[in-house]
Structure 1
Amino acid sequence: MTAENRGRAFSGDLLDRRDWVYVLALLVPFTVYTLVLKAARVGSLPGDPGLLGTFGLMRSDILFDLGYALFWIGLFAVARRGLPRLLVVWLFHATTITVALIETGAARFYEITGSSLDATTILFFLSSPKEVGTVVASAVTPSLVATLAIALLYAIFGPWLLSRFAARRWGRQTVEPGTPRASWLGFAGAALVAYALVSLSLLPGGKVPGASETSTRDGFLNVALSAVESSPLPYVDAEKVRESLPTQTRLEPAERTRKRNVVLIFLESTRASSVTPYNEDIQTTPFLDELAGQSLFAERAYAAMPHTTNAQTATICGIDPPTREGTASLGDRIPARCLPDLLNEQGYRTAYFQSATENFERRPEVVKNMGYEEFYSLEDLDKKGFQRANYFGYEDDILLEPSRKWLQQNGDEPFFVTYNTITPHHQYLAPDKRYGRKQFAKDDTVNRYQNTVRYLDFFVKNLIRQYKEMGLYENTVFVILGDHGEAFGEHGRYQHDNVIWEEGLRIPMMVLDPSRPAGRIKAPVGELDVLPTVADALGYRVEGGEYPGRSMLDPLPEDRTLKFSCWYENKCLASVKGDKKYIYHFGDRPEEFYDLSKDPLEKNNIIDEVAPEEIKARREELLEWRARADTAYGSP
């Protein structure tokens, strides 16, 4: 056998020249593309990980791509012709395109949120196209669409065109008789090597500051693994948990009961550090600053979870929200009697207004389950003359006229009304026609956000003026609070759903009651405290069960423990006890512990200075709390 034929035989043992061109024409661009995506993610991490650190962060992607390529080369080698070859070719294209799309989505999701994409999130997006379609559309840029379109066309037709070109230039390859061909046994060996490479890609990556375990994995692998991974929960007695829920509660009038109106104003995505009462260095909300001096003002207030529907469930229904991603269960059943339901029995009229679309997270069903009699959303409002605030809705002043009309019809009876604002939500478009804009930050995104918070100050001012003009102010208790905070990369995360640090959880909160003197609460308070506070302010006793929160009108212990969860399942939990904060990441990142009295921005993790017994107790306490919360909503 000549040297030339030996070379041909060696390559021919696997594939002929045309097949090599065909397979590599897709695998090489795929590998380059996925590694470029990962390199961009590595480049976004704080600091320089160095050469070894960079390899550690990209190792999973490199090994996965090698294993993926070897598997398909082996499969092409044994499926030479006929129906098996057609099936392999079809699967090759479909699988590679699917994997590339998931890798693209994972990279874009990380770029926008700082979190790793998982299977639950993809399923949520796919199952709720009407709810999240505008959210997805906001993340899709024209350049991304063009890139994907070109890549898709190439993935479908490119290998075929290149292999035909190779065949015309080189002619048909011939192999001498008797040259061994690839066998299924050989493919099995190649598959085992591919499996070994993929398995090695799952090993932990380098310990680089700012990099979580899931962020070091290949994007597709992380999505696939998240579909089968689970975090075991400690055992809780489901029957006892459900017996303790406030599902049979009622408000009992007492001697001091006064049927006064109640107004709940949710400040969307408003973190405490971005409003003037909590940060005198930023003049975004002078009116809220004025109200803080007239209110019962919470110096340290926390959201139960950095996600709107869950946070509102804690506030309006007085119970811990589900810690599982998604809120579909709240549209079916809320295992508690909520404020609207309780007050309806006392002769109150109830209504819920929002300037956002009604579609997101089954909001009509959730509001109905809470007990509201009437629900008004963007679909019911006149948009003429108002600017869009983001993909969810319009600027909040759009609610003022509908509010006035409702109050004119119902203001002669006691009422409970909730206003759910939307302007500060991402995309932070900051309407400028009505109140203009100011310069609060050099970063454009942060500056737009601060201007949306400034806009809310005008909305609250206009709403309070409306109540005064209609003669309703003196007989109304106003609860003004953020539903959750917002992050801009302080801890590598953006927006709010997965932000367990202070920028995601610390919110403004005040109770404006014209009949009571102003005061300040130094102890930490949470959204669970709102329902007991409202009942107390009206003079009602809660009978037939207990809510976990405490009335803010009573003295509160400064060392009380509050617990929190991320919206993404199995991502993070936290607890605050006095000034000490503990964060648990389910093994994805190192545990964290902060002394907020000395380190309010959570820059110095002192977990190594805390006794292991204390950390273990805090972790077990959180996991048991999570198990009880999910059991309440029907999870085993």
Structure 2
Amino acid sequence: MSSPKTPALMRRRRLTPASNAHSGRSANVGRDRQAVPPDQHAAFIPAGEPLGAAGKGPWEVAWVLLVPLALWLGLAKTALVMDALLAAPEDGSGWVALLKWLWWFVSLRFLLALLAGVVVQRLVLPRYRWASLPIAAAIMVTLALAFPQSSPDQALDRTLRVWAIIAASQVLGLAACLWRDVVSISLTALAMGFVLALTPRRARRGIVHLLQLLVLLLCAVVGIDLAYQLATGQPASSRVLLFAVLNAQELAPLVASETTPFRVLAIAGGILVAAAWAWRQRALAGTPLIGGARAFLGGAVALPLSLAILLPAPAHGVLPLLRHTEGTLITLAMTAAPTLTHEVQVKVAQEFERTRKPRWHSAHMAVAATDKTTRRNVVVVMLESVRAESTTLHTPTLETMPFLSSLASKSLVVEEMTAVIPRTAAAWMAVLGGQYPLANEGTQSWANENRKQPRIRTLPSILRDAGYATSFFTPTDLRFQNDLDVIDTFNFEFIQSERELARPGAERVTYFGIADEWMVQPILDWTAAQAKAKRPFLTAIMTNVGHHNFETPSTWPKIRFEGVSNPKLESYYNCLRYIDGVLSTLIEGYRRLGVLDDTILVIVGDHGQMFDEHGARQIHNAIYQEGLHVPALIYAPGMALQAGTVRGPRQQIDILPTIVELLGYRLEGAELPGQSLLHAVDANRKLFYTSSIDWSFLSARRGQRKYIYSFDRQPMEVFDLDKDPKELAALGDIDAQELASTKQDMLEWRMHAELSMLARPGDGADPSSPWLRK
């Protein structure tokens, strides 16, 4: 009797090579050949591919590889859209605040009702799957009645309609913002598919692993972009990311101060999702590629979606979401290498070749005495992160800086003083060098080259030549980025920073340094020594308190500001109160030394600060007025300087020529962009600005009209500062020629400013010699 397993064994034998001896071999082989579609021998399939095994098309593999990136892009953009519609609660607000924030989104309530309907159906009516929708609808109606979006006495149909409209607008807004991310995923899938199709079979496993690594890195970048935008309120760019990588060690304290569990999750979560998906799909590297129509199916989907990049981003009419309509990866790619128009490059080069000098220069700058020269002392106090609107000087009802306001009544007050770049070292160059500064990336190069051969001379240099003692004091650590190199090139005779000023018990109030009070007595001691030696002096002072993260010394009493709900803004206001007290102590110290009446005191903010205005929380890439407009005054009690107001568009580059004029010197051997504050300026004077991270933003001002250019990542913003000083509503219907002309002007200015900082005299000793580009 045969075993019951015999038929199964016989069936298995027919599928083995040993069965080739079977009399039916030729018939089986024929059937096998007929089962192989002829198009499996497509040209791109390498010889020896195991055609009998289950396979995928190259673009199908690409789509599978990109699943975690698509997921993380979608989650990141959703978080940004939600934050744009309603700002997420501050860190430390607790779970209740977070749940209230999530509950605000009506679309999430619809989603919750739908999920609840499915759960109830599965638990109560498992045999009736269709019941999940009616149950969900009933839950939605209940929620709508319990939490109406309109007046509670409205009819049910109106309540439901309002709910539906709000939910639909939120979903449509999100869809409009996600559309370009779908396009970017499609472009990536299209490219990956081609790479896989053209890769030899032997190398394919390695290529798949490399593509998985690429997806992991892109997920990390998306997470970093999300964390950056949530922390700063500003869009990231390739330049920002590159700057962060190159300066990681120096930026570590800043990053640590902004680290929260959610921001860590934004970065680590993307990496973990990509890694987990790669592990789950680890067999993908060995999957054979098929040919035929199916091989191109994934590509057929990716191609039309990729071509959609030629279409404009969809309009949705929700103003807070405009900045999120471009795809995250597309934005980062666009900012990798901003392209200057060829016409601008040619025009700037031709002007340099024609004049043999940069537009602005000061390598041979000097002062010459006149019959008006007085050799008075000069003190320049630069206030860290003090914006004009937050001072009592500009907002009298705000008791942040009462001493500065009282001093203003005896001073020349500059009404519309602005920074050039919202960066401290840039303010040093503008104020003490009188030149348009470079952004972060260019400043280090300039400092290195200027040390070899002076390209820019500064106020300390020219006054030191005139016999002045010169000093610089700051309670901060100058080793951040290239700050110490910059100050060294300014040619100060005496420099003291945190390293020299710190004493036992000195509290490190910010991650950049100690409290400002610790430098007051050393300043007065140095001043007393100059007074004893009967030397006129220039002292430049840079404060520290007021810098992000807006902390004051722990022993200094804070006060509450009525009506201020943002805790960081209230902390900032207390920083200004502290700085105001330090100013009072310093000036009283000068008075006691008997030098105040012989001193010209200039007080100016280095840049402003952002507290969610325009969605921004940091200033390095924000060139709105909150980040640029700073307080400024000149106090000279011993001079016949009439107290009053300096009107018109002014900039930090105007301070150096003003000081030279007040001292009675004549400026020689230089061409500076600034104009003395002692004279009227054209109401339509052009001013230019740039972000501290290069090629991120440019801005221009003509009279009261201001333009902000983001290198075509989004439409140029235009504001009327006279009617809209807070830049809340961008003007529409601006003539295209006006926008093009302004863009040209901004790019020209940017290139001329860089050339003016980096160009050098061919013969350093001869002012008339032709200049070299670098």
In the TM superposition, what is the alpha-carbon distance from 1:141 to its structure 2 partner? 2.4
Task: Evaluate the alpha carbon distance shift between residue 32 and residue 189 of structure 1 in structure 2; reply closer, same or farther with a 3 A threshold.
Answer: closer
1:355 to 454, 475, 479: 475
1:518 and 1:60 map into 2 onto residues whose CA distance is: 56
**Which residue of structure 1 lines up, in the alignment, with residue 47 of structure 2?**
none
2-side partners of 1:50 and 1:592: how far apart?
25
- Indicate the residue corresponding to 1:223 in structure 2: 332
1:590 paired residue among 715, 721, 728: 715
Q: 1:57: which partner in 2?
A: 177
Alignment check: 8 A CA contact 2:216 2:271 kept: yes
Further displaced range: 256-265 or 221-230: 221-230
Q: In the alignment, which residue of structure 2 is the partner of 1:200?
A: 308
- Give secondary structure in 2 for the equivalent of 1:562: strand
Q: Contact (CA 8 Å) 1:591, 1:607: kept in 2 or not?
A: no
Asked if residue 575 in structure 1 is aligned to residue 697 in structure 2, the reply is: no
Give the distance between the partners of 2:243 and 2:210, measured in 1 at CA.
26
Offset of residue 534 of structure 1: 0.6
Q: CA deviation at 1:200?
A: 3.4
**Is the aligned partner of 1:269 residue 2:365?**
no
Contact 2:338 2:695 in 1 (8 A): no
1:157 and 1:519, CA in 2 relative to 1: closer, same or farther beyond 3 A?
closer
Asked whether the 8 Å contact 1:571–1:588 carries over to 2, the reply is: no
Letter in 2 for 1:474: D
CA contact (8 A) 1:323 1:626 kept: no
Paired position in structure 2 for 1:43? 82
1:299 equivalent in structure 2: 415
Relative distance call for 1:311 and 1:187 in structure 2 (3 A) is farther
Counterpart-to-counterpart distance in 2, 1:136 and 1:213: 27
The 8 Å contact of residues 359 and 671 in structure 2, kept in 1 or not, is answered as no
State how 1:317-396 maps to structure 2 within 5 Å.
317-322=433-438, 325=441, 327-333=443-449, 335-382=455-502, 384-396=504-516
| Aligned-partner Cα distance in 1 for 2:292–2:573 | 63
**Cα shift at 1:402:** 2.8
TM value normalised by structure 1: 0.86
The aligned amino acid for 1:449 is Y
Question: Quick check: 298-307 or 29-38, which moved more?
Answer: 29-38
Please give the residue correspondences for 1:492-571 in structure 2 after superposition, counting only pairs within 5 Å: 492-516=615-639, 517-571=642-696
CA–CA distance in structure 2, aligned partners of residues 39 and 431 of structure 1 = 39
**Residue 23 of structure 1 contacts residue 159 of structure 1 at CA under 8 Å; is this kept in 2?**
no
For residues 551 and 439 of structure 2, the distance between their equivalents in structure 1, rounded to whole angstroms, comes to 30
Number of equivalent positions: 614
Query: Residue 572 of structure 2: which of 438, 449, 453 is its match?
Result: 449
Partner of residue 748, structure 2 = 624
Give SS of 1:366's match.
helix
CA RMSD of aligned residues (A): 3.6
The structure, 1 or 2, with the larger RCO (C-alpha pairs under 8 Å, 6+ apart) is 1
2:550 equivalent to 1:431: no
Do 1:78 and 1:187's aligned partners in 2 also have CA atoms closer than 8 Å? no
Q: Distance in 2 between matches of 1:258 and 1:247?
A: 25
> Are residues 184 and 374 of structure 1, via their aligned partners in 2, closer, same or farther at CA, if it must alter by over 3 Å?
farther
TM-superposed CA distance for 1:342, in Å, is 0.6
Counterparts of 1:196 and 1:344 in 2: how far apart (Å)?
Answer: 68
Equivalent residues in 2 for 1:239-254 (5 A)?
239=353, 240=355, 241-242=357-358, 244-254=360-370
Partner SS for 2:84: coil
Rounded Cα–Cα distance in structure 2 between residues aligned with 1:278 and 1:600: 13
- Asked if the contact 1:309/1:361 (under 8 Å) is kept, the reply is no
Q: How many angstroms apart in 1 are the aligned matches of 2:181 and 2:403?
A: 52
Structure 2: how far apart are the matches of 1:71 and 1:576? 43
Partner of 2:755, secondary structure, is helix
1-structure distance, mates of 2:301, 2:260: 39
Q: 1:418-455: CA deviations, max 9, x gaps? A: 11112212221233422433325111121112221222
Q: 1:401 to 1:244 in 2, by over 3 A?
A: closer
Deviates further, 72-81 or 423-432: 72-81
Local SS of the residue matching 2:613: coil
Q: What TM-score do the two structures reach when normalised by structure 2?
A: 0.71
For residue 623 of structure 1, report the CA deviation from its aligned partner: 2.9
- Structure 1, 304-313 or 155-164: larger mean CA deviation: 155-164
More moved, 338-347 vs 88-97:
88-97
CA distance 1:187–1:262, change in 2 (3 Å): farther
> Could you tell me whether the CA contact under 8 Å between 1:231 and 1:586 is conserved in 2?
no
Deviation at residue 289 of structure 1 after TM alignment: 0.3
CA distance in 2, matches of 1:247, 1:361: 25
Distance 2:55 2:666 in 1: 83
Give the direction of change, closer, same or farther, for the CA distance of 1:156–1:447 in structure 2 (3 Å limit). Answer: same
Give the residue type in structure 2 aligned to 1:621. Answer: D
CA contact (8 A) 1:352 1:374 kept: yes
1:510-565 deviation per Cα after TM superposition (whole angstroms, max 9, x unaligned)? 01111233221122221111001110111111012232212222344444332222
Deviation at 1:287, TM superposition (A): 0.5
1:83 and 1:621 map into 2 onto residues whose CA distance is 51
Partners of 1:183 and 1:56 lie apart in 2 by 36
**Does 2:352 correspond to 1:238?**
yes
Q: Report SS of the residue matched to 1:231.
A: coil
The 3-state SS of whatever aligns with 1:311 is helix
Is the contact made by 1:293 and 1:518 (CA closer than 8 Å) also made in structure 2?
yes
Shift in Å at residue 283 of structure 1?
0.8
**Which residue number in structure 1 is paired with residue 606 of structure 2?**
483
- 8 Å contact kept, 2:388–2:608: yes
Say which of 68, 72, 90 aligns to 1:33: 72
State which drifts further: 107-116 or 211-220.
211-220
User: Aligned equivalents of 1:353 and 1:186: distance in 2?
Assistant: 71
1:67-125 superposed Cα distances (whole Å, 9 cap, x missing partner): 5467668878998987642x135313421221111111111112222322222222222
Q: How many Å separate the matches in 2 of 1:408 and 1:133?
A: 39
> What residue ranges of structure 1 are gaps of 5+ in the alignment?
167-171, 174-179
- Assess if the C-alpha contact under 8 Å between 2:338 and 2:711 holds in 1: no
- Deviation, structure 1 residue 182: 1.5
CA contact (8 A) 1:110 1:116 kept: yes
Q: CA deviation at 1:243?
A: 6.6
- 2:254 alignment counterpart: 135
Larger radius of gyration: 2
In structure 2, what is the Cα distance between the partners aligned to 1:581 and 1:147?
Answer: 35
* Alpha-carbon distance between aligned partners in 2 of 1:507 and 1:328, rounded to the nearest angstrom: 25
Q: Decide whether aligned partners of structure 1 residues 193 and 326 sit closer, same or farther in structure 2, where only a CA change above 3 A counts.
A: farther
Query: Closer, same or farther in 2 for the Cα pair 1:160/1:348, shift >3 Å?
Result: same
Per-residue CA shift, 1:552-602, capped at 9, x if unaligned?
223444443322222233333333333333333333333333332322222
Give the whole-Å Cα distance in 1 for the aligned partners of 2:334 and 2:746.
Answer: 24
Q: 1:214 to 1:151 in 2, by over 3 A?
A: closer
8 Å Cα contact 1:266/1:421 also seen in 2: yes
